Amino acid sequence: MGSISKFVNSWRHFGTIALLSKAWEKFVIDKRRFRSGLQRTVPEFSSRVSSLDVPEMTLPSLRSLHICFLIHYFFPDKSGGTERFVLNIAKILQKQGNRVTIITLGKRPLSKYSRKTGEIYSTRFEFEGVEVVQIRYQRAPRGLYYDTIAEEERHMAKFAEEFFRENDIDVVHAAYPQPFSPFLKICQTKNIPYVVTLTDFNMICHYATLVNKNGHFCSGSDMGRKCVSCKTYGVKGFKERYNQAAKLLRGADFITVPSEFVAKIFESEFNDISVAVIPHGIGDSFQPVRKRTSPKKFIYAGTLSDLKGVHLLISAFKQLTEDDISLAIYGEGELSYTAQLKAMSQRDKRITFKGNLAASEMNQAYQNADCVIVPSIWFETYNFVLREALACGCLAVASDIGAMTEAIDEGKNGFLFKAGDEKDLLKALRYAVEFDWANYLQKLFPVIDEEALKYEKIYHYVNRGLRNA
């Protein structure tokens, strides 16, 4: 689809006001939020008060289940950490004899959808053997993808009613719950248990990042009161948004998060919920295959965007004087930001842009590299790239925020630096260049099969009504 066709399709989907609002936030607000040179202070979050344990179940004697995942984006249209988490789990569940259906929002032209339910269009297809139902509104409600939490949205509710009439679903798993609150409300009326996994902070923050419009880290919404200063199109009342989020979470039969860091934030924000920490699994192919001797080959892999801090990385890396080191940048992003990065790098022949890599090619990229760099300017809730590269035996340099600190043993498998601080990043890069590999300590991470087994136990647990018994 050409750029003009994409624009016309987006205009028809969102409308003029919403489209202008999205452009304003992306090109004006976000430029300010993730600007370089700002000294950011990481807030303190209280220790966890409570936690859930994964229930013990003997799976071979239990019947197979039909599990429905809900996620805002999915392959092949979008790819990211949450999408990978869902796909990984879905494929293992099906291998174990369960049936999986993934419902996701889409933005394709209306002609690409084969069915209409009220104001919602849908189409079914398979991705890597997993059934996907992609839905699209004729005209998207205000704040559909990130901003609003509106359980009374009648079009989504009507679609859910028809979906449940046609499909015998045992458990619904909301991997991105915010736009699906009407769907989850229907689950409650039909006594269908639902599980929620929180992979970012969208249930607290309409930006989903806990970085406010001035670029500083936020310690929480204070029941929506602090969000007023970050007012955005689509949210009429932040207190009501918080109440809707709390209601959705309290109605869940089980809640999981991928890291202790995320658990702290949500249990501080909603003091009457408990969550289980289930780290995302790493593919078992991510293992060391060669002995490294000195860090020469550095890589960045991920989306090219302000909040990922790629501009900080390039600026810092250019200040390293060694001629025998290199930086390979994998990924794509918004065109103007990518052009900015390439302009910054054009006089440094050590820096190359490799474009996107297929998931099947990432392992080889890590094996060829010595050190992965993750310079994010937001609270990463897990970060697959960091852990996959470490599992392959790479050294790591990462921001000292979010769940990334849980993966790095300072001075043994990597170095941390103050998020958004170019000088501190440069210092960490110098430590990496001078690293003595005799001091390297390999870190182990859970594999996908282990993660999927835990979720399968949870599904059987809630399906039998044990959680709320």
Residue 348 lies in a domain: yes
Judge if 356 and 456 occupy the same domain.
no
- pLDDT value of position 41: 84
Residue 292 lies in a domain: no
Residue 97 to residue 275: CA distance in whole angstroms? 27
Judge if 59 and 130 occupy the same domain.
yes
CATH of the domain at 435: 3.40.50.2000
Contact between 382 and 199 under an 8 Å Cβ cutoff? The reply is yes
**Mean pLDDT score of the chain, rounded to an integer?**
92
36 pLDDT higher than 80: no
Judge if 51 and 82 occupy the same domain.
yes
Contact between 265 and 43 under an 8 Å Cβ cutoff? The reply is no
Q: Which residue has the higher pLDDT, 227 or 233?
A: 227
∠ CA 445-446-448, rounded to 5°: 130
Give percent of the chain with pLDDT exceeding 90: 74
Q: Kindly report the pTM of this predicted structure.
A: 0.92
Judge if 223 and 313 occupy the same domain.
no
Judge if 64 and 209 occupy the same domain.
yes
Q: What is the mean pLDDT of residues 30-51?
A: 77
Residue 286 lies in a domain: no
Judge if 269 and 334 occupy the same domain.
no
Judge if 129 and 67 occupy the same domain.
yes
Contact between 344 and 311 under an 8 Å Cβ cutoff? The reply is yes
Residue 50: band (very low, low, confident or very high) from pLDDT cuts 50, 70, 90 = low
Judge if 268 and 367 occupy the same domain.
no
Residue 60: band (very low, low, confident or very high) from pLDDT cuts 50, 70, 90 = low
Q: Say how many C-beta atoms besides its own lie within 10 A of residue 38's C-beta.
A: 14
Q: Which domain holds residue 99?
A: 3-281+451-463
Name beta bridge partners: 255: 196
Q: Return the residue matching tokens 């890590």.
A: 366
* Residue 174 structure tokens: 């909301």
Q: What is the mean pLDDT of residues 24-49?
A: 80
Residue 98 to residue 247: CA distance in whole angstroms? 30
- Strand, coil or helix: what is 164? helix
Contact between 198 and 255 under an 8 Å Cβ cutoff? The reply is yes
Contact between 426 and 309 under an 8 Å Cβ cutoff? The reply is no
Residue 322 lies in a domain: yes
Q: Say how many C-beta atoms besides its own lie within 10 A of residue 468's C-beta.
A: 8
Total of domains in the chain: 2
Digit-coded pLDDT (tens) for 150-204: 999 999 999 999 999 999 999 999 999 999 999 999 999 999 999 999 999 999 9
Judge if 241 and 337 occupy the same domain.
no
Name beta bridge partners: 121: 116, 136
Contact between 382 and 258 under an 8 Å Cβ cutoff? The reply is yes
Q: What is the mean pLDDT of residues 123-136?
A: 98
Q: What is the mean pLDDT of residues 406-434?
A: 96
Judge if 335 and 315 occupy the same domain.
yes
Judge if 195 and 330 occupy the same domain.
no
* Residue 30 structure tokens: 């976000």
- pLDDT value of position 469: 42
Judge if 250 and 347 occupy the same domain.
no
424 pLDDT higher than 90: yes
Residue 61: band (very low, low, confident or very high) from pLDDT cuts 50, 70, 90 = low
Residue 49: band (very low, low, confident or very high) from pLDDT cuts 50, 70, 90 = low
Q: What is the mean pLDDT of residues 125-129?
A: 97
Residue 407 lies in a domain: yes
Q: Say how many C-beta atoms besides its own lie within 10 A of residue 360's C-beta.
A: 9
Residue 367 to residue 290: CA distance in whole angstroms? 8
Rg (CA), the chain: 22
- pLDDT value of position 168: 96
468 pLDDT higher than 60: no
